[in-house]
Amino acid sequence: MVTPIKNPITSSELGTLWMTYQRKKMMRVLIGHLAYKSENEEAKKILFDFTEETEKYINEIEKIFTAEKAAFPIAFDDNDVFNDAPPLFEDMFNIIFLRLLMKMDMGANSLNLSMAYRKDIREFYKRSSIYSQDIYDLSTDFLLERGILARPPYVTMPKKAEFVEEKKYMSGINLFGEKRALNTIEVGFMVQSLEFNIFGMQLMTGFAQVAKESEIKKYFIKGKELSKKIVTQVNGVLLQSDIQPPSTWAGNATNSTMPPFSDKIMMFLTNLISIYALGYNALGVSFSLRSDLPAKLLFVEKDTFSYANEGGKLMIKHKWLEEPPQMDDRNELTKSKE
């Protein structure tokens, strides 16, 4: 029987595997620390099981890179966490943290799968996506059962399908000159933005308390203020439609100032969250049918982009930003032979 020869991985596959490797090593290290510090036995098991399974995916990527004779990222290891530090967040924050990471991971897996061509890599992303969905379900159920996770607002069920008849619907103005009520699609995106930025505000508060470098501390404080600004803005839009914004009490930072994480890994996570927020905000803008909302969301997008850009510059300055594999520079190759 002839063994089929695998094609070499493409540039897009190399790029997505590179980023996936960094992301999964970050998650394994961070969640491993949270598991070590968790006091809730059920939460501890969820977190430990996740780190063990994530290690398998990391090893799988390393095998692919080794077979291709490609270097893989340095990324993160146990030197980026300090287990002797006291907990930085309340115990329930650990599962909130995991759930939000899985939201990002589900999106990344779907995007990476759409850029994969080789069968084994497509299978890798499909398995990774299914696992992220399973952990998302597990963590969501855990939080709902304890009354920690705030649900989006309920709405009266429609009795029939209707079509938009007034052009003013798109401008957000109803027949009486006031803003029309938000539709359920718009509310859905805004509630998710609210949930994500409340999490970001809590995360940045904790990171700012323990960052070693003063400019990194200032950067996290700026991130907290940005999240606070977005939460205030989204709350205002919801209240304008007489919608009570959902909120959660869990997941606050403790009063610890001893760093459990390196500045490097905290900056990487913050940058990853900023990039995710940019993509999610863009999606929200594209689905909104009220023209005043995209205008507001674009201001959020601008501020988030500036924040992410500043974070990238800080990571370069401290030599924390690993360079992805580059395409061959044909101009340089030509010059080398002159």
For 196-239, write each residue's pLDDT tens digit: 899 999 999 999 999 999 999 999 999 999 999 999 988 888 88
Closest CA to 46 of 92, 106, 108, 115: 92
Least confident span in 4-8, 49-53, 307-311: 4-8
* pLDDT tops 70 at residue 116: yes
Mean pLDDT of the chain: 88
Fold (CATH) for 11-145: Ferritin (1.20.1260)
> pLDDT-derived band of residue 2, with 50, 70 and 90 as boundaries?
very low
Which fold, 174-317? Ferritin (1.20.1260)
Tokens of 86: 């006291």
Q: Which pLDDT band, with edges at 50, 70 and 90, does 329 fall under? A: low
Q: What is the pLDDT of residue 245?
A: 85
Backbone angles phi, psi at 179, to 5 degrees: -65, 130
Q: Are 179 and 240 in contact (CB under 8 A)?
A: yes
**Segment 241-279, tens digit of pLDDT:** 888 888 766 678 999 999 999 999 999 999 999 998 888
Burial 41-79 (b: 16+ CB within 10 A, else e): eebbebbbebbeebeebbebbeebbeeeeeebbebbeee
Whole-prediction pTM: 0.89
Q: 253 and 91 in contact (C-beta within 8 Å)?
A: no
Q: Is the confidence at residue 5, as pLDDT, over 70?
A: no
Q: Do domains 11-145 and 174-317 have the same CATH topology?
A: yes
Helix H or strand E segment including 229:
helix 214-240
Indicate the domain borders of the chain: 11-145, 174-317
End-to-end CA distance of the chain: 49
- List, as one string, the DSSP characters of 277-315: HHHHHHHHHHH---THHHHHHHHHHHHHHHHHHHHHHHH
User: Which range has the worst mean pLDDT, 95-109, 172-186, 319-333?
Assistant: 172-186
Give which of 116, 137, 123 is closest to 16, Cα–Cα. 116
For residue 113, which of 98, 93, 132 has the smallest C-alpha distance? 132
